[in-house]
Chains A and B, each alone.
Chain A
Amino acid sequence: MLVLFAGIMTGANAQKERFKALFIYNFTKNIEWPPQVKSNHFIIGVVGNSDIAAELQTIAQTQKVGNQTIKVINGNSTDELEFCHLVFLSGNKTAQLPHLLTKLSGKQTLIITDGKNLAAKGSGISFVQDGDKLKFEICRRNIEKQGLKSSSALANLGIVVD
C-alpha cells in the first residue's frame, strides 16, 4: 500500500509538472525576444526539476519557438545557464534566485520561478498554487529589465505584481 500511495502522489505531481511545462512553452508565445537571440536553438534551462525538464524535452521533439528548435538543459546549479532564453527555477531551488538574477542580469533571459511572491523578488513569472487552481504572477518590469517584451494576455491572465 505504501508503494501504491507513493506512486499515487508521484503520479499527481507528474500531472502538475506536465501542465507547468505546457505553460512554460505557452509563455514563449507571449514573450518577445530581441532579434539578436532569434537564431540557432531556443535554449530552456531547468534548475532542479527533472520532471519538468523531461516534459519540456517531449515538447521540444515536436514544437519550435518561432523558427528556433528547442533545446532543454537540466542541472542543479545556475552556473551553466548563461546562454538560455528561458530559465525555470524549481520551487526547491528558490534559494538560488538571487544568484541567478545576478548571473543573468540583462541577458535576454526569461526567468520563471515556482512559488508565491517570487515575481516581486525578481523573476519575470512565477507559478502559484491557489487551492486546486494553478495561477501565475507576472512582473512586467522584471521582464522588461531582461530586455524582453510581454504580451497583454500575460498581464490580463496573470496576477500582476509590478
Chain B
Amino acid sequence: MIDYRNASRRWLAGMLMTACVAFSAYAQDSAPSVSQMNEEQIHQLSYNDLLQLSLEDLLTVANRFGMSADEILEYFLNKDIVAASKKSEKTMEAPMSSTVISKEQIEHSGATNIPEALRLAPGVIVREKTPGNYDVHLRGYDNVPSNNIMTYSENQLTLLMIDNRPVYSHTFGGTFWEMLPVEVSDVERIEIVRGPSSALYGPNAVTGAINIITKRATDKKVAVNFDNALGNNNSHLANIATSFGVGNKLLARVSGNYQWNGRFNNDFYTFYDSQYHTQEFLETTLDPEDITKRTVLKENASAREPNVRRAGEKYGANVALTYPASDKINFTLMAGAQKSAVLTSMLGNRWAPLSTRESQTQYIDLHADIHGFQAQINYNTGVNEYEKLVHGFKCDIDVINASLEYDYTIHNLTLRPGVSFQKANYNDMPYVNVDLHDGYMNADCEMSTKAASLRADYTAFGKWRLIGALRWDQYNIPDVNHFTYQFMTSFKINDNHLLRASYSRANRGPFITDTYSNYTWYKIPNVFHIYYMGNKNLKLPVMDMMEVGYRVKPVKYIQADFELYRTEMNDFSWFTDDSLQYTGKTFPDPAMLAWINYHNFDLKVIQSGFSANIQVAINKNLTMDLHGSIQQTELKDFFPVTTFAMIQQLQADAMVSPYKKAAYTIDPSTFVDQSHEATPSFYGGASINYVLRDKWNLNTSIYHYGKQTFAMNRESTVIDAKTLVNLKVSYNFAKQNKVFINIRNLLGDDSNEFAFADKIGTKFFAGVQLQF
C-alpha cells in the first residue's frame, strides 16, 4: 500500500531541493571581498576560493588564520564560552568544568538532532529511547530513586536553556527534547556546564546547565541554507533557513525544521510477560490485575501510536530579529513554534512502557542590552499531552521568565547584580472532568520564583581569579527560600597551564506533580480507586560539589582538560504508597482504595568521578577529540523496596484489619548502602575530522557507555554496554553546497539503549546541504 503522506512529503522535499539548487546556481557569482568577511566566512573559504584571491587578500587570509598554528588552536580548541561564568571567555580560562560544541563540530559529526550532538561533550550520558528520541543525563544521577515509576528515569536535575531561556518542564520535571522548536541547523554552539550552577542560572541547574545558542543573521546579504536527508525506516530530516537585512540596521533570520524518524521494530515491550508484542496482543490480552477479568490488557493501544513504524515527527519554525541601535544598545527578538509527536517512555505506570507524547507550543523572547544592563523576558505557551493513552495527562502551559542583570567593572573586579522572576501555570481543567478528579491536577496550578543574585569576579596579579556567585530564590510553593552559591578560583600558571577549583551548592525546583497532584486513578472503575496526592511542603533536593580541574596545552596544537569531582545530594522526594483500605462496600462503590503521596526520604547519593577531554587540532584539516568519564555513584540509606512490593504489603496488612486504613511505615533499619548501577561507571567518545582537498569532509566518531542496571517498580533490566560508531562523508561540489552520506551506529549493534525501549540499529542517511 502506498503511504501517501510520505510520498507527498518527498515530493515537497524534491521541489524545495530543485528550487534551492536553481537559486544556488544563480547566486554563485557574488562573493564578498576578504576585507568584508568575518572570521567565520574566512574559515569557510574553499581551496578554489583561495586560488582566486588577489595577492593582498591571500596575505590577509594567510595571516588571519592560515599560517598561525596559534590561531588554528584558538579557532578549533579554545572556543568562546559564556555559560561557565556568565562572562565571555576562552574555554581555557573558564572557571568551571565546561565544554563548547561548535556548529562545525555538529555538522561534521552528522549528529541528526541536538541530544545526539551532546555525545560530543564529556560528562554527558546520552541514550536513544526510540529512534530520534533521547534520554540525556549530565554525569548521571539517573533513575534516583529507583524501584519507582518511570518518571524518575527522566533527568530532572539539568537545566536546559535556549539563548538563556529556560525550557525546563515544570510538570514532571525535566526536559522533553522533542519540544525544542530549534534543531541542529539552528545551533551556533552548545555550551555545557557540568556541576551545580543554580547560583548562576537558577533552580534545576543541579548536575549542570546546557545553553543552546542559536544562529543570528550576521550580514544584510540574503543567504539561504537548506539541508535535506532521507534515511532508512522512512526517516526524513529537513531544515531551511534564510537570513537578510531590513532597512539600515535590522537583521533577520527565519528558519524551519522537520523530522520524521522511523522505528526498527513494530512491537512494544510489555511488563505482562517481559516480552515485546504487537499492538494487537496489547489490545486483546486480559489484564491479570483486573479482578473482574472483563477488560483487556490495554484499551485502544493503537492510540499509543497510530503508525507503529513512527518513532517521532516534529516541526519547528523560528524567527530571530537583531537590531543594534548603537554600540551600547542592542535588541534581539525571537519567536517560534513547534509541534511534535513522539513515541517515548511513559511517565506513569502501565503495562506497556512506551507511549506517544504530543506537544504544540509557541514562544516569544526579547533580549535587550542597554548600556551594561541585560534584560530578558520571554513567554512560552501551548498544549502538552504527556501520555496520549492515559486520560488526564493533557494540560495547557504558560511560562513567563524575566531577568535583569547589570555588569559593573572597577579595575580588576566585575560585579553582576541581578533579579529574576519566573511564573509557570499548568492547567488541565479544559481536558478533564474536575468533579471526577480524573486529571492529574484538576486545576490551574502555579509555580513562581522570585530571585536576587550577585556575581563577583576578581583577578589578582593577572593570574589568580576569584569568583563568587550567590543567589536567593523565594518559591510560592513550597513556601521556602533557598540560598545557593558557587565559589570558584583559578590560577593561571602561565598561558599553557591553568589550575582551578570550585565549591558549589544547587537545588532542584518544585514540580507541578509532586506539589499539586490531585488525581484519582480509576484502576478498576467502581472497584479499585487510587488517589495520588501532591505535597506542598516538600524539601527541595540539594546538591553540593567539590571539584578541582587542570587545563593544559602541552603543545600549542593540543588542549587537554581534566576534572575530578565529588558530589553529594540530599532531600530527594519520592512517590510512595501511603495507605490502603478495603471498604467492604459493593458496586458501584469501590471495594478497595489506596493513597499514594509524595514524601521526602533520607536517601543520600554520593558520586565521585574523573573526566578527561583531549582536543587536537593538527591543522585546519585534521582535528581530533577524545573524552571519557569514570565515576562511581553510591546510595546511602537507600530503601530497597519497590513501590509494588509496598502496595502488596499494604494489601496484606489491610486484609488483617478490613475496613481500616492500613498505613505503610518505612522502617529505617531496612535502609542499605549500595552502589547505584543505573549510571554507567564509564562513558565517553572520540572523533576525528579530516578535510581532504577542500572538497571532502570525513568524520568518524565513537560513543561508548558501560553496562547499567535499570530498576523500576515492575522489574529490573540490564542495559548492556554499547559502542556506537558513526561516519559522515560529505563532498563539496560547489562553494558550500554538499552531498553527504551519514551512517549512525555503523557496527550494527541493535540493542536497546534505554530500559524497555526500542531497538536502535544502524541508520543510513543520504542528503544534500545547500548554501547560497
- Name the B residues within 8 Å of A132 (CB-CB): 63, 67-71
Give Cα A27–Cα B70 distance, bound, in whole angstroms: 26
- Taking a contact as CB atoms under 8 Å apart, the answer to whether B55 and A26 are in contact is yes
B54 contacts A by Cβ under 8 Å = yes
- Taking a contact as CB atoms under 8 Å apart, the answer to whether A134 and B67 are in contact is yes
B558 contacts A by Cβ under 8 Å = yes
Whole-angstrom distance between the Cβ of B621 and the nearest chain A Cβ: 8
B25 contacts A by Cβ under 8 Å = no
* Given A8-B555, A58-B693, A62-B48, A153 and B54 contact (CB-CB distance below 8 Å): yes
Interface flags, A22-39, vs B, CB<8A=1, else 0: 110111011000000000
A102 contacts B by Cβ under 8 Å = no
Whole-angstrom distance between the Cβ of A162 and the nearest chain B Cβ: 18
Cross-interface CB contact of B59 among A12, A16, A29, A157, cutoff 8 Å: A157
Whole-angstrom distance between the Cβ of A56 and the nearest chain B Cβ: 11
Give Cα A5–Cα B556 distance, bound, in whole angstroms: 11
* Given A14-B619, A22-B51, A133-B63, A8 and B68 contact (CB-CB distance below 8 Å): no
Q: Considering the complex, which residues of chain B in the window 401-421 have a beta carbon less than 8 Å from any beta carbon of chain A?
A: none
A63 contacts B by Cβ under 8 Å = yes
- Taking a contact as CB atoms under 8 Å apart, the answer to whether B51 and A25 are in contact is yes
- Taking a contact as CB atoms under 8 Å apart, the answer to whether A8 and B558 are in contact is yes
A120 contacts B by Cβ under 8 Å = no
Give Cα A16–Cα B71 distance, bound, in whole angstroms: 13
- Taking a contact as CB atoms under 8 Å apart, the answer to whether A22 and B58 are in contact is yes
Whole-angstrom distance between the Cβ of B69 and the nearest chain A Cβ: 5
Cross-interface CB contact of B618 among A8, A27, A154, cutoff 8 Å: A8
- Taking a contact as CB atoms under 8 Å apart, the answer to whether B619 and A134 are in contact is no
- Taking a contact as CB atoms under 8 Å apart, the answer to whether A7 and B618 are in contact is yes
- Name the A residues within 8 Å of B63 (CB-CB): 132-134
Cross-interface CB contact of B619 among A11, A62, A133, cutoff 8 Å: A11
Whole-angstrom distance between the Cβ of B730 and the nearest chain A Cβ: 19
* Given A4-B616, A8-B616, A8-B618, A15 and B58 contact (CB-CB distance below 8 Å): no
Give Cα A115–Cα B69 distance, bound, in whole angstroms: 19
* Given A11-B622, A12-B557, A23 and B58 contact (CB-CB distance below 8 Å): yes
Cross-interface CB contact of A15 among B48, B53, B72, cutoff 8 Å: B72
- Name the A residues within 8 Å of B59 (CB-CB): 134, 157
- Taking a contact as CB atoms under 8 Å apart, the answer to whether A157 and B618 are in contact is no
B62 contacts A by Cβ under 8 Å = yes
Whole-angstrom distance between the Cβ of B591 and the nearest chain A Cβ: 72
Whole-angstrom distance between the Cβ of A68 and the nearest chain B Cβ: 16
- Taking a contact as CB atoms under 8 Å apart, the answer to whether A134 and B62 are in contact is yes
- Name the A residues within 8 Å of B66 (CB-CB): 15, 18-19, 134
Give Cα A134–Cα B62 distance, bound, in whole angstroms: 7
- Name the A residues within 8 Å of B70 (CB-CB): 132
B620 contacts A by Cβ under 8 Å = yes
Interface size class of B (residues with CB under 8 A): 20 to 34
* Given A22-B50, A132-B71, A15 and B55 contact (CB-CB distance below 8 Å): no
Give Cα A14–Cα B47 distance, bound, in whole angstroms: 14
Interface flags, B39-55, vs A, CB<8A=1, else 0: 00000000110110111
Residue of B nearest to A29 (CB): B55
Whole-angstrom distance between the Cβ of A18 and the nearest chain B Cβ: 8
Q: Considering the complex, which residues of chain B in the window 513-565 have a beta carbon less than 8 Å from any beta carbon of chain A?
A: 555, 557-558
- Name the B residues within 8 Å of A63 (CB-CB): 51
- Name the A residues within 8 Å of B58 (CB-CB): 22-23, 26
A59 contacts B by Cβ under 8 Å = yes
Whole-angstrom distance between the Cβ of B398 and the nearest chain A Cβ: 54
Whole-angstrom distance between the Cβ of A54 and the nearest chain B Cβ: 11
- Name the B residues within 8 Å of A23 (CB-CB): 55, 58, 62
- Name the A residues within 8 Å of B620 (CB-CB): 15
Q: Which residues of A contact B (CB under 8 A)?
A: 4-5, 7-8, 11-12, 14-16, 18-19, 22-23, 25-27, 29-30, 58-59, 62-63, 132-134, 153-154, 157
New A-B pairs, 13, CB < 8 Å, besides A12-B72, A132-B71: A11-B619, A11-B622, A12-B557, A12-B618, A15-B67, A22-B51, A23-B62, A26-B53, A27-B55, A30-B55, A132-B67, A134-B62, A154-B55
Q: Which residues of B contact A (CB under 8 A)?
A: 47-48, 50-51, 53-56, 58-59, 62-63, 66-72, 555, 557-558, 616, 618-622, 693
Interchain Cβ contacts under 8 Å between A and B, 23 examples: A7-B618, A8-B618, A11-B618, A11-B619, A11-B621, A11-B622, A12-B557, A12-B619, A18-B66, A19-B67, A23-B55, A25-B51, A62-B51, A132-B63, A132-B67, A132-B70, A132-B71, A133-B63, A133-B68, A134-B66, A153-B55, A153-B56, A154-B55
